[in-house]
A and B are shown apart, each in its own frame.
Chain A
Amino acid sequence: MAMEVTQVLLNAQSVDSTVRKHAEESLRQFQEQNLSVFLLSLSGELAGEDKPVDSRKLAGLILKNALDAKEQHRKYELVQRWLALDVGVKTQIKTCLLQILSSPVPDARSTASQVIAKIAAIELPQKQWPELIGSLLSNIHQVPAHVKQATLETLGYLCEEVSPDVVDQDQVNKILTAVIQGMSGNEGNNDVRLAATRALYNALGFAQANFSNDMERDYIMRVVCEATLSPDVKIRQAAFECLVSISSTYYEKLAPYIQDIFNITAKAVREDEEPVALQAIELWSSICDEEIDILEEYGGDFTADSDVPCYYFIKQALPALVPMLLETLLKQEEDQDLDEGAWNLAMAGGTCLGLVARTVGDDIVPLVMPFIEENITKSEWRQREAATYAFGSILEGPSPDKLTSIVNVALNFMLTALTNDPNSHVKDTTAWTLGRIFEFLHGSTVETPIITPANCPQIIRVLLQSMNDAPNVAEKACGALYFLAQGYEDIGSASPITPYFQEIVKSLLSVTDREDAGESRLRTAAYETLNEVVRCSTDETAAMVLQLVPIIMTKLHQTLEAEKLSSDEREKQNELQGLLCGCLQVITQKLGASEPTQYAFMQFADQIMNLFLRVFACRSATVHEEAMLAIGAVAHATGPDFAKYMPELYKYLEMGLQNFEEYQVCAVTVGVVGDICRALEDTVLPYCDGIMTQLLKDLSSNQLHRSVKPPIFSCFGDIALAIGENFEKYLMYAMPMLQSAAELSAHTSGADDEMIEYTNLLRNGILEAYSGIFQGFKNSPKTQLLIPYAPHILQFLDSIYMEKDMDDVVMKTAIGVLGDLADTLGSNAGSLIQLSLSCKEFLNECLSSDDHLIKESAEWAKMAISRAISV
């Protein structure tokens, strides 16, 4: 048997696909027939010092995959399956794996490390395998270096896999002690030191208590800082990674070390090899991230109860930090703009400079201006590009007051550079900088406009001219135009874009037709800019927006003509269809927003829907998200006439609702069902059986991403509101579902912020469902069907009120439900309502809310209640 497994594992890696498939099939059968024996033989294979490395590695990999999966549902199944195995079998496998850590073969050790960590991730939370950490650490000082290295690597994986709360502080201390000792300069073996340093990176999350102890923290910090000076570049890089992680995880503990950290990083940025220097810059970027978060959260207003105070490390380091970052800007690589994967010192430095600007605001301007002035006119392109990039980087953060006068001077220079600079790098950065100027300093909220009637024509002319430049430059010019248009979205009828609307649209369309539009994301950028120009257009150009419809339709039609596509071509077709459907969606939404244009749009509705249905038909099993999104806009624009598309559309709706894997598609489809309900009202009835069945299945599935569940509940409300008392037949399915979800979401004790946020989304969905159902049944003779549910709903309102953690949206919806309940049930529920907490304290709290939507709903509820109890 054992011999056989080796051969099968080797065959499974054969270049001959027939051999490979046959081997894979044998492994699958083996696994299904007897899991215990299968796993045992895999661990035996991995342990076999006489076996080929390739079969050992694959054995370990299959073993690992039998314990964990990315997909949550599958992961759960695998965990349950492992836990259900015979204890003897599991012990045998685990013992075997621990022995492999002493193997002379590095790949075998490393694979075993990972498998051990996976088992630990399953067993430690169950209080099983308590001896694991002890046995790993028991003789770590006496073992040969390669075993020490494997043990530390195992600890590293273990810390990555296991949650800190399932490991005792006592064991954490032991792990950290072993890891720090392995990292220290006394450790002569570099492999051991590297493994220890990488292990520390994962173990940092376990070290809360140790970082609160001054002595222990000092010791850890000293060892980490020393490791950044190691002669081995990998150790230095790993040590800087630890420092980056510490700077965000333990930001509030950094003060005593910040000067040393600056010295170490400055040296690394200037002298060390690029991978190390990049980590050193990243350290400052992550401190910026921390301070930006803190400053945003508290708005600079610190009180005793602020969780984390801001230590203003960036502000203090500014005079030294900025020159260091500016130096990096001059270290550009040729053609970095053409390489999607590029990441170098200049890019990292400029990005960090941008973060520094956001952190400190005005203070950065005087430190950067001399650099810009000195370099922007130099003959060497690197200097001009660096100066421009520095300027572009500091546009977000400082106040418009500080920047406006500088930008006014720079704007002309930039426009000239974009037209005339001989270097494509410089042009790329210049166009990007113009985009940043328009993004941050142009728009209705900015007091002194940068763009005036005098310079606007020139700006547009230069940007449109750049549409013919190299793809990367043209893409940035599109971006600049995007923000230029966006800045006028609130302007009303007198948009300066209006006279150029046609010319802009023409240019953008010709960009999408460029041969090289596939490079540098150019085609996507052009369509996105077109979308924004359309979104921000005014009534004056409505006729031209309408003219775009047949143009985009023709393009979409062309994508449908192509036949026998290769998979690569199919992907491109799919992407292009996405852009075109997206564009049609934006246009439809724009035209559908006002009555006259909505009417004019109707002439195209049949053709558009026909195209969308054909886009759906292009694919076998999945639904095109963008087409679905666009269909929602069409349903909204056409209203009741949409009914004629339903017979053909229905199957795609069903397909979309069944798409658990691409949950965005499912979510979009749920939203579109809502649009259709509002458009069709009770004529949607014939489709409701199918839709409700699918929605109920979605809710019961634990494969579907949880973010889709709240909108599904809201969709119940949309359906009920559309079909009124016909919702009767779904009550027996929907109500228990709502009720159990309500019970789950009533209390949030012990949940983190993210969970509370989700719970509130869920509550809102549930409440919207109740609202829709009550409103749907209003004035119906079947109202009494809802009476049995009233006590539970009132109780739900009371308990979320008592929980005191609902957000404003939930508050508004909840008080509205109280009104709907009173409005629909009237005197039938009068006494019940009077017994509830919600109709007193909660209602009063909402009545005195500052949020006018809450107040409005509360006033409505007050009226409805007074009517219900006065009758």
Chain B
Amino acid sequence: MAPHDLRRPFKRPAISDQQRRRDLSLLRQKQNRLDAQRRARCLASSVLSFQSEPKPPSQEQSHFELELELEIEPDAEEHQGPATTYDVRQASKLRGTEARRWFAKQLMLPEWMIDVPPNLNTDWYVFARPAGKRCFVVSSNGTTVSRLRNGILLHRFPSALPNGARINNVSRSSQSYCILDCIFHEPDQTYYVIDMVCWAGFSLYECTAEFRFFWLNSKLVEVGVCDTPSTFHKYRFATVPVYNCDQEGLQTAYIGPVPYIKDGLLFYNKHAHYETGNTPLALVWKDENCSEYVIDTDSKGQVPNQQQLVLELQDDGRLATSDDPSVIFGWLNEDFIQKTGLHAGNLLRFAVNDGGLSFVDGKLEKADLQYLGQSNRARAFADSYSKVMFQYIVRHSPLKIEHLFASIGPLGDGDIASHDVEMAA
């Protein structure tokens, strides 16, 4: 038994560079595996279908500013064409028309509230909608981009969102992107986040509004997105207070003070997933007390004497809304079409004459319309049925806040209904 060697490392760094190379390789492999895993977990839900149209009318671009005045209108569009699917990261690289079409398809567009949905107080949230530009905010590859719902780039900036700024040496995962549904409020230059679609690569499309709002509120605070702007976080983000749509919640949303200019109320069904395009599970409602823009104005900002609407001319001369399936408001005869040189796909502006709209069993039967001409070329889509209807009833017998309160009731009809269901089960 010889004496034991007691030499210790002398003037040597304890870790060899070879071990460091191995460790760093392992670290990279681990990160890559995590990325692959995340990609696999998100893929099915974040690949959003995209109907591409090959014709890019180049001059359209210059007119887009014009559409901003109409921006607050919840519209939807219908495009036929070969279906192409893009991952949102690929989509964020799209430019021009492609980008616009893609993004236009991705937002969830609330219908206008023309009657009160059942169980408003139990199944719905309500919040005051900030006035401003509805947009998607996408953070990926170390930068953040906001795009209006027609796809136009609003801002490109660094943000504290995951992967939203180029901060050195944070190992950036290309999968780690975010998509927020926001309204950009000009007066305080703030993005008000009204919904969350993807967070750090995780898709929230198939999650209920309840879950999305919970996550939105916890995550934004966690990463400091709501903090004061700084070099690496150029714009302020803020959340919007969301209430259960009971007496108190509705009251607060309706008259409670908010740091932004209100533009109506938004109602979200708690159980609804994030659905792109028009959905009756999100609703918008306004009156003069909570919005400056209740009745549509014309291009000069004046309220026209007669309600105006935009419909799409179809092959057979029918005049359709943007809904899927569309609602037919009338026909143009062939002679008229030929004489005016119109063709299918044109968006046409009409005024509602004194005959108004007639309904049978809650369905539109007849519309007394007067042709005014083609719509502004910047308009991409016809009006939706709910929008036309909302504008119509606002002028005739508006759905008032009292009606909303009444439907909730002190006890709440919804409660009774759900009791029934439980007892039946």
A632/B29 in contact, CB under 8 A = yes
Chain A residues whose C-beta falls within 8 Å of the C-beta of B83 in the assembled complex? none
Stretch at the interface among B111-119, B200-208, B350-358: B200-208
Chain B residues whose C-beta falls within 8 Å of the C-beta of A428 in the assembled complex? 11
Chain B residues whose C-beta falls within 8 Å of the C-beta of A328 in the assembled complex? none
Q: Give the distance in Å from the alpha carbon of A169 to the alpha carbon of B278 in the complex.
A: 81
Determine whether A538 belongs to the interface, using a CB cutoff of 8 Å to chain B: yes
A718/B33 in contact, CB under 8 A = yes
Return the chain A residue nearest B29 by Cβ: A671
Determine whether B215 belongs to the interface, using a CB cutoff of 8 Å to chain A: yes
Chain B residues whose C-beta falls within 8 Å of the C-beta of A348 in the assembled complex? 6, 8
**Residues 1-28 of B contacting A (Cβ, < 8 Å):** 1, 3-4, 6-11, 13, 17-18, 21-22, 24-26, 28
A721/B200 in contact, CB under 8 A = no
In the complex, how many residues of chain B place their beta carbon closer than 8 angstroms to a beta carbon of chain A? 37
B169/A489 in contact, CB under 8 A = yes
Determine whether A432 belongs to the interface, using a CB cutoff of 8 Å to chain B: yes
- Our pick among B6, B29, B206, B211 for the contact of A278 (Cβ within 8 Å) is B6
Determine whether B168 belongs to the interface, using a CB cutoff of 8 Å to chain A: yes
A282/B6 in contact, CB under 8 A = yes
Q: Give the distance in Å from the alpha carbon of A202 to the alpha carbon of B207 in the complex.
A: 64
B28/A589 in contact, CB under 8 A = yes
- Our pick among A157, A160, A528, A671 for the contact of B17 (Cβ within 8 Å) is A528
How close is A535's CB to chain B, nearest CB, in angstroms?
A: 8
**Residues 154-175 of B contacting A (Cβ, < 8 Å):** 167-169
B41/A636 in contact, CB under 8 A = no
Determine whether B40 belongs to the interface, using a CB cutoff of 8 Å to chain A: yes
**Interface of chain A, main secondary structure:** helix
How close is B268's CB to chain A, nearest CB, in angstroms?
A: 18
- Our pick among B6, B7, B206 for the contact of A867 (Cβ within 8 Å) is B206
Q: Give the distance in Å from the alpha carbon of A675 to the alpha carbon of B31 in the complex.
A: 11
Determine whether A153 belongs to the interface, using a CB cutoff of 8 Å to chain B: yes
Return the chain B residue nearest A281 by Cβ: B6
Return the chain A residue nearest B40 by Cβ: A775
How close is A381's CB to chain B, nearest CB, in angstroms?
A: 17
**Residues 660-680 of A contacting B (Cβ, < 8 Å):** 664, 668, 671, 674-675, 678
- Given A285-B8, A859-B215, the answer on whether A586 and B36 have CB atoms closer than 8 Å is no
B25/A633 in contact, CB under 8 A = yes
0/1 interface trace, chain B 172-214, chain A, CB 8 Å (1 if under): 0000000000000000000000000000101010110001000
Q: Give the distance in Å from the alpha carbon of A863 to the alpha carbon of B24 in the complex.
A: 33
- Given A241-B3, A671-B26, A867-B206, the answer on whether A775 and B21 have CB atoms closer than 8 Å is no
Determine whether A471 belongs to the interface, using a CB cutoff of 8 Å to chain B: no
How close is B396's CB to chain A, nearest CB, in angstroms?
A: 41
B168/A589 in contact, CB under 8 A = no
Chain B residues whose C-beta falls within 8 Å of the C-beta of A237 in the assembled complex? 3
Return the chain B residue nearest A536 by Cβ: B169
Give the size range of A's interface with the partner: 35 or more
0/1 interface trace, chain B 82-126, chain A, CB 8 Å (1 if under): 000000000000000000000000000000000000000000000
A343/B7 in contact, CB under 8 A = yes
How close is A404's CB to chain B, nearest CB, in angstroms?
A: 22
A675/B26 in contact, CB under 8 A = no
B44/A860 in contact, CB under 8 A = no
- Our pick among A343, A629, A859 for the contact of B22 (Cβ within 8 Å) is A629
- Given A347-B10, A351-B8, the answer on whether A493 and B168 have CB atoms closer than 8 Å is yes
Chain B residues whose C-beta falls within 8 Å of the C-beta of A636 in the assembled complex? 28, 32
- Given A351-B8, A493-B168, A674-B33, the answer on whether A820 and B41 have CB atoms closer than 8 Å is yes
How close is A513's CB to chain B, nearest CB, in angstroms?
A: 19
Chain A residues whose C-beta falls within 8 Å of the C-beta of B251 in the assembled complex? none
Determine whether A44 belongs to the interface, using a CB cutoff of 8 Å to chain B: no
Chain A residues whose C-beta falls within 8 Å of the C-beta of B9 in the assembled complex? 351
Determine whether B289 belongs to the interface, using a CB cutoff of 8 Å to chain A: no
Q: Give the distance in Å from the alpha carbon of A237 to the alpha carbon of B1 in the complex.
A: 13
A678/B206 in contact, CB under 8 A = no
Determine whether B297 belongs to the interface, using a CB cutoff of 8 Å to chain A: no
Determine whether A532 belongs to the interface, using a CB cutoff of 8 Å to chain B: yes
Q: Give the distance in Å from the alpha carbon of A492 to the alpha carbon of B204 in the complex.
A: 33
Determine whether A798 belongs to the interface, using a CB cutoff of 8 Å to chain B: no
Chain B residues whose C-beta falls within 8 Å of the C-beta of A531 in the assembled complex? 17, 21
- Our pick among B17, B18, B168, B211 for the contact of A491 (Cβ within 8 Å) is B168
A678/B168 in contact, CB under 8 A = no
A589/B22 in contact, CB under 8 A = no
- Given A237-B3, A678-B36, A768-B33, the answer on whether A856 and B202 have CB atoms closer than 8 Å is yes
How close is A521's CB to chain B, nearest CB, in angstroms?
A: 9
B202/A859 in contact, CB under 8 A = yes
**Residues 417-446 of A contacting B (Cβ, < 8 Å):** 428-429, 432, 435, 439
Chain B residues whose C-beta falls within 8 Å of the C-beta of A717 in the assembled complex? 33
Determine whether B49 belongs to the interface, using a CB cutoff of 8 Å to chain A: no
0/1 interface trace, chain A 158-183, chain B, CB 8 Å (1 if under): 00100000000000000000000000
A771/B6 in contact, CB under 8 A = no
Q: Give the distance in Å from the alpha carbon of A779 to the alpha carbon of B8 in the complex.
A: 57
- Given A589-B24, A775-B40, the answer on whether A490 and B6 have CB atoms closer than 8 Å is no
Chain A residues whose C-beta falls within 8 Å of the C-beta of B8 in the assembled complex? 285, 348, 351
Q: Give the distance in Å from the alpha carbon of A348 to the alpha carbon of B22 in the complex.
A: 31
Q: Give the distance in Å from the alpha carbon of A432 to the alpha carbon of B10 in the complex.
A: 10
**Residues 665-722 of A contacting B (Cβ, < 8 Å):** 668, 671, 674-675, 678, 714, 717-718, 721
Determine whether B37 belongs to the interface, using a CB cutoff of 8 Å to chain A: yes
A674/B29 in contact, CB under 8 A = yes
- Given A238-B3, A278-B6, A432-B11, the answer on whether A668 and B32 have CB atoms closer than 8 Å is no
Determine whether A156 belongs to the interface, using a CB cutoff of 8 Å to chain B: yes
B3/A492 in contact, CB under 8 A = no
Chain B residues whose C-beta falls within 8 Å of the C-beta of A285 in the assembled complex? 8
B29/A675 in contact, CB under 8 A = yes
Determine whether A612 belongs to the interface, using a CB cutoff of 8 Å to chain B: no
B28/A156 in contact, CB under 8 A = no
B169/A678 in contact, CB under 8 A = no
Q: Give the distance in Å from the alpha carbon of A347 to the alpha carbon of B8 in the complex.
A: 9
- Our pick among A282, A664, A674, A863 for the contact of B207 (Cβ within 8 Å) is A863
Q: Give the distance in Å from the alpha carbon of A308 to the alpha carbon of B21 in the complex.
A: 36
Q: Give the distance in Å from the alpha carbon of A489 to the alpha carbon of B171 in the complex.
A: 12
How close is B203's CB to chain A, nearest CB, in angstroms?
A: 9
B33/A582 in contact, CB under 8 A = no
Q: Give the distance in Å from the alpha carbon of A722 to the alpha carbon of B4 in the complex.
A: 51
Q: Give the distance in Å from the alpha carbon of A351 to the alpha carbon of B211 in the complex.
A: 58
Chain B residues whose C-beta falls within 8 Å of the C-beta of A432 in the assembled complex? 11
B1/A156 in contact, CB under 8 A = yes
Between B7, B9, B17, B40, the greatest number of chain A beta carbons within 10 A of the residue's beta carbon is seen for B17
- Given A492-B168, A589-B24, A675-B29, the answer on whether A819 and B41 have CB atoms closer than 8 Å is yes
0/1 interface trace, chain A 840-870, chain B, CB 8 Å (1 if under): 0000000000001000100110010001000
Q: Give the distance in Å from the alpha carbon of A347 to the alpha carbon of B11 in the complex.
A: 9
Between A527, A532, A771, the greatest number of chain B beta carbons within 10 A of the residue's beta carbon is seen for A771
Determine whether A284 belongs to the interface, using a CB cutoff of 8 Å to chain B: no
Q: Which residue numbers of A lie inside 8 Å of B, CB to CB?
A: 153, 156-157, 160, 198-199, 201-202, 237-238, 241, 244, 275, 278-279, 282, 285, 337, 342-343, 347-348, 351, 428-429, 432, 435, 439, 476, 479, 482, 489-493, 524, 527-528, 531-532, 535, 538, 578, 582, 585-586, 589, 626, 629, 632-633, 636, 664, 668, 671, 674-675, 678, 714, 717-718, 721, 768, 771-772, 775-776, 778-779, 816, 819-820, 823, 852, 856, 859-860, 863, 867
Can you add 10 more A-B contacts, CB < 8 Å, to A282-B6, A342-B10, A633-B25?
A156-B1, A160-B1, A275-B3, A492-B167, A527-B17, A589-B25, A629-B22, A632-B25, A636-B28, A852-B222
Between A and B, 27 residue pairs with Cβ closer than 8 Å are A199-B1, A201-B1, A244-B6, A275-B3, A279-B3, A279-B6, A285-B8, A343-B10, A347-B10, A432-B11, A489-B169, A491-B168, A524-B17, A578-B18, A582-B17, A589-B28, A629-B21, A668-B25, A674-B33, A678-B36, A714-B33, A721-B37, A772-B37, A778-B40, A820-B41, A852-B222, A867-B206
The 5 A-B residue pairs whose C-beta atoms are closest, nearest first, are A528-B17, A775-B40, A492-B168, A343-B7, A198-B1
